[in-house]
Structures are given as C-alpha cells and as structure tokens.
Amino acid sequence: MPKLTSLKEFITENQKDFNYSTSDLSCLLRDIVLAAKVVNQDIQRAGLLDHVLGAQGVENIQGEAQQKLDVLADQAFIKSFLEGGVVCGIASEENEDFLAFDATSSQAANYVVLFDPLDGSSNIDVNVSVGTIFSIYRRISPVGTKATLEDMLQAGNKQVAAGYVLFGSSTMLVYTTGNGVNGFTLDPISGEFFLSHANMQMPLNGRLYSVNEGNLNDFDPQLRAYLAYCQSDVNQTGKPYSGRYIGSLVADFHRNLIKGGVYIYPAVPSAPKGRLRLLYECNPLAFIAEQAGGLATDGNQRILDIEPTELHQRAALYIGSKEMVEKAMGLV
Ligand code: AHM
Ligand code: MG
C-alpha cells in the first residue's frame, strides 16, 4: 500500500501555496478537525444517546426546530475556536448574533470563521448524511481589538479558505485555500485525516439535478423549462437526467462535485429570498465550486460577489457543473 499523506503533512508540503501563514492554517484546521471528531462520535452513536438524538425543543434564529445535535455541534466548534487562539470571533447559523472572543490571545488573532455547524440536520434522526460547512476570512478590524460585525459581513470573494466536513458513509474533510480543492478521509482506526481526493475537479457537465421538486409549481418559467430539459431526451445525453435530492445541501453538493450535477434552490413564496444562508452555506460552497471548475450563482449574479448586509441573509442558489448552471440560468 502506498504511503498515505496525512492532513498535517499535506499542509506542510504545500505551504508555499497558501496565501497566509501555514501555522495559522494548521491551527485553524486543527481546531476544525478536533470539533469535527467530537461531532462525528456523537453522530456515530446518535441512536444510543438520549442527549444526542431528537429535537432540542426550541427554534433557532431562522425559526427552525433546533435538533440536539445542532446545538452540540455548535458548542463543539465554538469551544474549539475559543481554545485554539487563532480566531477572534465567529458567526454561526444557530446563533442570533456573532461572538467576539474576549481573551487577549483571541483578540490578537487574525481570522473569523462563519459556519453552519450541522447542515441537513432534519436528516439526523433518519441516519442520512449531514455536514459542517465553514468559511474563513481575514479580519477587517484592527488586531488586538474585539471582532466586529464588519468582520463577519464580507463578500464571499474575500474568503481565504472554506470547506466542509461530510459525515457520510465515511467522514471527509474537503477544503480550499484558493488554490484548488482537496479532500481528506478520516481513518477511524488512527483517528487521522488522510488525502484521498487530490485536486478535485467538478465535471463541466453532468446528468444529475438536485432540486426540491415539491416546490415545482412555485418555480419561475425559466427554471421549469430547464427542469423539463433535464427530464427530456433532447439534453446532451439523449436521455433524461437523474433527479437526486438528499435534502442535505452539503451531501448533494459533494456528490455533484464528484459526479457532475447541479443543485438549485431558487426563491419561492415560502422562502422569498431563497432558503439557504449566504454566509454559512452559499459562500463557502461557492468558493469550493469555483476552485473545482464549477459555478455558483443566485440565478442572476455570482454568489461570491454579493455584498452581505446581515448575518443570516438568505440567497437563491444555483451551484454545480459550470455548463449546467449556465444552462439553468438561460445563458446558453
Ligand atoms: P439546515 O442548515 O437547517 O439543515 O437547512 C438547510 C437545508 C439544506 O441542507 C437542504 O438542501 C435544504 O435545507 C432542504 O430544504 P427543503 O427541505 O426545503 O428542500
Ligand atoms: Mg444548513
């Protein structure tokens, strides 16, 4: 068996490629990996632990029923970033406001992290893949002070790194620092992540489409026409595409990244600005999609160029294989 490259070795070997200090990147990824392992353990034993499975009994800021694992994952990541000392503040899908860390060491840190602690959490109770999505920015506020809202509200094109941890049939970390996308698989025996998917490239075209078709009657004519094209035999494959919708964005995205496909969640009356969160879901996945040769738009403009005005801002999302996104937008 060839020698595997661990995540740590990969970072060290590729340090010249990073647009910021390798030790900061190592520490940040160490914090993410630490929390991900805690969450992974909870997910693996979810059905056996009373404090893990089921609803928390309250709604989050999005007005959605919080799952116990949403809260556990949120706490695990916050604790890890707080103790790690390279992050000055965070914003999370599960918390109304951002958190500016008080410790002097945190205030001396350069980065903020925005994250969805457990995407697809409505799937937890039925043992379907879920994931953590994260987005990393250099702070705007002066080093040595507390993080500000301005640090959090940066356009996606300012991200210095982004990624996700997918808790699927295996646990994977996929991330980019703006120089391609690489995927690492957790070896449960050694507890280490190893490079398993080097330089990931999203196929330019594919034959998978991912959309909640229950909302079909609410889609605009252009999108309905695109879906009819997907379901017809006049598309480039000469036969209908396959519909694949897990309902965990991170898992739908990961599959489309590898196989080629498009994920679409447009604005609908029940979610007039779109359902997905710009800062915690759309931006990080858009960064990865573009780095892998794919495309991400809100149906009109590039996701990464949207200037956010609020933490929990929603956006419509068309993401995936470049030619499929262009076709869905009516550009070709
Ligand atoms: P969540 O972060 O609360 O889990 O919400 C986001 C999820 C996405 O993972 C998924 O693609 C979408 O919401 C599913 O929405 P719907 O059930 O409306 O299809
Ligand atoms: Mg989510």
Q: What is the pLDDT of residue 209?
A: 98
Q: What is the pLDDT of residue 16?
A: 59
Is the predicted pLDDT of residue 274 greater than 80, yes or no?
Answer: yes
Give the list of residues 6+ apart from residue 85 with CB closer than 8 angstroms, or none. 27, 103, 105, 106, 109
Q: What is the pLDDT of residue 45?
A: 86
| CA-to-CA dists, residue 243 to 47, 183, 228, 310, angstroms | 29, 25, 12, 33
Q: How confident is the model at residue 82 (pLDDT cuts 50, 70, 90)?
A: very high
H runs (alpha helix) in 14-110: 22-44, 68-84, 104-107
Distance separating alpha carbons of residues 36 and 39, to the nearest angstrom = 5
Report which ligand 1 atom has the smallest distance to the Cα of 121.
4
What is the CA 179 to chain-centroid distance, rounded?
17
Which residue lies with its CA nearest to atom 19 of ligand 1?
A: 212
Mean pLDDT throughout 52-58? 70
* Residue located via tokens 């840190």: 109
Distance separating alpha carbons of residues 193 and 162, to the nearest angstrom = 17
69, 118, 212, 263: residue to mutate for ligand 1 pocket, most atoms within 8 A of CB: 212
Is the predicted pLDDT of residue 63 greater than 80, yes or no?
Answer: no
Least confident window among 1-15, 76-90, 163-177, 210-224: 1-15
- Give the three-state DSSP class for 115: strand
Give the list of residues 6+ apart from residue 237 with CB closer than 8 angstroms, or none. 207
Sort strands 208-210 and 242-243 into parallel, antiparallel or unpaired: parallel
121, 122, 133, 213: residue to mutate for ligand 1 pocket, most atoms within 8 A of CB: 122
> What homologous superfamily is domain 7-197 in, according to CATH?
Fructose-1,6-Bisphosphatase, subunit A, domain 1 (3.30.540.10)
**How far away, in angstroms, is 250 Cα from ligand 1 center?**
9
The closest ligand to the CA of 284 turns out to be 2
Is the predicted pLDDT of residue 19 greater than 80, yes or no?
Answer: no
Counting every residue, how long is the chain?
Answer: 332
Sort strands 87-92 and 111-119 into parallel, antiparallel or unpaired: parallel
Mean pLDDT throughout 115-124? 92
Q: How confident is the model at residue 47 (pLDDT cuts 50, 70, 90)?
A: confident
Long-range contacts of 222-229, Cβ-Cβ distance < 8 Å, separation of 24 or more? 222/329, 222/330, 223/264, 223/266, 223/299, 223/328, 226/327, 226/328, 226/330, 229/327
Closest C-alpha to 164, from 138, 187, 131? 131
Q: How confident is the model at residue 165 (pLDDT cuts 50, 70, 90)?
A: very high
- Give the three-state DSSP class for 247: coil
Sort strands 65-67 and 55-59 into parallel, antiparallel or unpaired: antiparallel
Distance separating alpha carbons of residues 326 and 331, to the nearest angstrom = 5
**How far away, in angstroms, is 262 Cα from ligand 2 center?**
17
Highest mean pLDDT among 38-42, 63-67, 92-96, 263-267: 263-267
Distance separating alpha carbons of residues 270 and 244, to the nearest angstrom = 22
Per-domain residue ranges of the chain: 7-197, 208-328
* β-bridge mates for residue 243, sequence order: 209
> What is the pTM for the complete model shown?
0.95
Q: What is the pLDDT of residue 51?
A: 73
Q: Is the CB of 119 under 6 A from ligand 1?
A: yes
Q: What is the pLDDT of residue 289?
A: 98
Percent of the chain past pLDDT 70, that is, above it, reads 94
Q: What is the pLDDT of residue 311?
A: 98
Q: How confident is the model at residue 80 (pLDDT cuts 50, 70, 90)?
A: very high
Q: Say which CATH architecture domain 208-328 belongs to.
A: 3-Layer(aba) Sandwich (3.40)
Which residue lies with its CA nearest to atom 5 of ligand 1?
A: 120
Is the predicted pLDDT of residue 64 greater than 80, yes or no?
Answer: no
